[in-house]
Structure 1
Amino acid sequence: MKSILVATDFSERSDRALRRATMLAKQTGAALSLIHVIDDDQPERIVESERDAASQLLYEQSATLRNMDGVTCDTQVILGAPFAGIVQAVGDRTPDLLVIGPHRRQALRDMFIGTTAERTIRSVACPVLMANSPPVGSYRNVLLTADLSDGSHSAIDSFASLKMAGGARTSVVYVFDAPTLGLAIGHAMPKEDKEYYLKKECEDAARKLAQFMGPLDVELAEHIVRHDNSNPANEILTVAEETEAGLIVVGTRGRSGLAKLLLGSVAEAVLRKAEVDVLAVPPKRYQ
């Protein structure tokens, strides 16, 4: 990884993104770029005042990063809507990674579609790291997600190329479906038969996951398969909690991608609910 772009609005949420990006820059040797977008749909004098203030804050932050952290850093103030400004910066700079702070969680936790974070993740061509957790150090545990699709293959491959894991313990989870249990015949099956069927499905899922991961250059501590007993996102988040993952890696378009345009419904649900960092990776044809 050579370049990391950080979008900041100088809030506490953005401070998380900046600190995590700084840790990753030091870990990988990447250069940082800090951008701040000012809404230009307001009186010119206000725009000019905000631009001057933002330029000064960015200068101070970049000086600290260079002098205290030893990280190469440049800055830019962009005029426009937050979403459009970030997308423009990604298009102009083509960073290896974009880091943003967590979206503002509403009273209803499903209020994610339409936020700047979601629109940005849907629109940019590079991996996006949503820094949800206060960064206290390098990642110790990372959870990769696989649905055995080209999208998840691309996401895992891109994650490996970014060298973000460092020395973290890395696991992969595959949430599989057991279709017979949802049919009428499944409801009529004796308990012992259901358990036997589910065991066989689990063994088959484990074999498929091993075959899927074989060609990928990722050192894994554990392969995890889970029956989709509720929904894939909930199973993923449960496994993340069990493995104490500080980072979850998801592809933004897998088998369920048509449900949310370019943002798969599983990825959207994980991004909406996760309390830890999430790396959302688009398919390589969008990178």
Structure 2
Amino acid sequence: MKAVYATDLSEASEAAIANETCLECLGRIGVEAFHLVTVVPSNVHAGMPGMNFEKRRQTALDRYRETFEDAGFDVETHVVRGTPHRRINGLAESVGASLTIVGSRGSSPLENRFIGSTARNLARTSVTPLLVNRIQRATDDPAVLEEHLFQRMLYATDFSENAQEAFEAFSYLRHAAEEATLVHVQTPADPEPDDDPRDRLDELAGRLEDWDIETRLDVRQGDPVEEILAAEDDHDPTTTLVGSRGHSRLRRLLLGSVSEDVVAKADGNVMLVPPKRVA
């Protein structure tokens, strides 16, 4: 499996890259090769202060390369110019990546929590499963919030095709996962279900238990985003797994989808799985 690791070369990104346990977790789910990429903003031009950005960033990536190679991974580095999320997605497509990873400083101390624009735009448009790796904020010496990335999973499902696509990620996450909480949120707008949601969750739980993943069920009522975030608080997962509804032009114009809001507002790591692309 190939992964694109996007970094802005900040101390926070360096903390994630330097964490040996995080790299071990990625290796356990099948990642063998990394493409490290950093993007020079298109508004930085030659002749401006920082005109040697490409050279300086390549030097930094070469330092990161050593960390990955020492951990046993194959590594290629890329310094590109343009709009970050577009260039990251373009690289993921061109190298045939199966996962994109981006760091985030985590929740804001303000009431309305947020992540950076690049991570938010990737959540809207990613062509691969996207792992948002949370890093401590408001500290001079940041560290990752969770070293064992996939040890305790929270999987949110509305039983849609998108959610099922996300569940299939357990086919490789199972090599690092020990526990999973399966959560379904019923809303007043939902039609009356033909069967008990717990029965459907039980079927999914059976598959995970066959892989020796300890599983619990959680059926809630209310606003999906609020309830998924409440489930995160209650169960303390290392990563929340959700499916997205794709990346059409229209969808990019719409704000507030459940998956994007979970990516933006969750305290911990989030893995978002988009629909498979049809050639």
Q: 2:35 corresponds to which residue?
A: 33
1:120 aligns with 2:85: no
CA contact (8 A) 2:44 2:51 kept: no
- SS across alignment from 2:58: helix
Work out the CA distance in 2 between the residues paired with 1:224 and 1:209: 7
Asked if the contact 2:8/2:38 (under 8 Å) is kept, the reply is yes
Please give the per-residue CA displacement for 1:27-68, whole angstroms capped at 9, x wherever unaligned.
23521110010123233144650001011111111023213x
Q: In structure 2, do the counterparts of structure 1 residues 211 and 177 end up closer, same or farther at CA, with 3 Å as the change threshold? A: farther
Q: Does 1:169 align with 2:170?
A: no
1:236 aligns with 2:228: yes
CA gap of 1:245–1:34, structure 2 versus 1, over 3 A, is: same
> In structure 2, what is the equivalent of residue 141 of structure 1?
152
CA contact 1:22–1:71 (8 Å) conserved in 2: no
| Cα gap change, 1:214 to 1:148, in 2 (>3 Å) | farther
Structure 1: unaligned runs, 5 residues or longer = 181-200
Work out whether residues 89 and 127 of structure 2, in 8 Å CA contact, stay in contact via their aligned partners in 1.
no
- The offset of 1:223, in angstroms, is 4.0
Q: Does 1:151 align with 2:162?
A: yes
TM-score by length of 2: 0.79
| Bigger shift: residues 219-228 or 125-134 | 219-228
Q: Aligned partners of 2:54, 2:148: CA distance in 1, in Å?
A: 32
1:71 is aligned to 2:73: yes
- The separation in 2 between residues aligned to 1:151 and 1:8, in whole angstroms, is 28
Once residues 209 and 95 of structure 2 are traced to their aligned partners in structure 1, the CA distance between those partners, rounded to angstroms, is 28
Matched, 1:56 2:59: yes
Unaligned runs of 5+ in 2: 136-143
Q: Secondary structure at the match of 2:185?
A: strand
Tell me the equivalent position of 2:238.
246
State how many pairs are aligned.
259
Specify the code of the residue in structure 2 equivalent to 1:64.
Answer: T
Structure 1 pair 212/65, CA: closer, same or farther in 2 (3 Å)? closer
The corresponding residue for 1:224 is 217
| CA distance in 2 between partners of 1:88 and 1:265 (Å) | 23
Return the alpha-carbon distance in structure 2 between the equivalents of residues 152 and 9 of structure 1: 30
Deviation at 1:167, TM superposition (A): 4.0
Q: Distance in 2 between matches of 1:247 and 1:111?
A: 17
Query: Is the Cα contact below 8 Å between 1:140 and 1:169 reproduced in 2?
Result: yes
Task: Answer whether contact 1:101 1:131 (CA < 8 A) is retained.
Answer: yes
Structure of higher CA gyration radius: 1
Displacement of 1:204 after TM fit?
1.9
Structure 2 counterpart of 1:115, which letter?
S
Code of the residue aligned with 2:11 in structure 1: it is E
SS in 1 for 2:131: strand
Contact 2:4–2:101, Cα closer than 8 Å, also in 1:
yes
Q: CA deviation at 1:24?
A: 3.4
Find the counterpart in structure 1 of residue 199 from structure 2. 207
| In structure 2, distance between residues paired with 1:160 and 1:250 | 12
Sequence identity of aligned pairs in percent?
A: 24
Q: Secondary structure at the match of 1:125?
A: coil
Residues 75/99 of structure 1: CA separation in 2 closer, same or farther (3 Å cut): same
Counterparts of 2:202 and 2:255, CA distance in 1: 26
TM-score between the two structures when normalised by the length of structure 1: 0.77
Q: 1:263 to 1:162 in 2, by over 3 A?
A: farther
Helix, strand or coil at the partner of 1:240: helix
> Which moved further from structure 2: 261-270 or 3-12?
261-270
Could you say what the CA RMSD is over the residues aligned between the two structures, in angstroms? 3.3
Hey, which of these two has a bigger chunk of helix by percent?
A: 1
How far off is 1:243 after superposition? 2.0
Aligned to 2:141: none
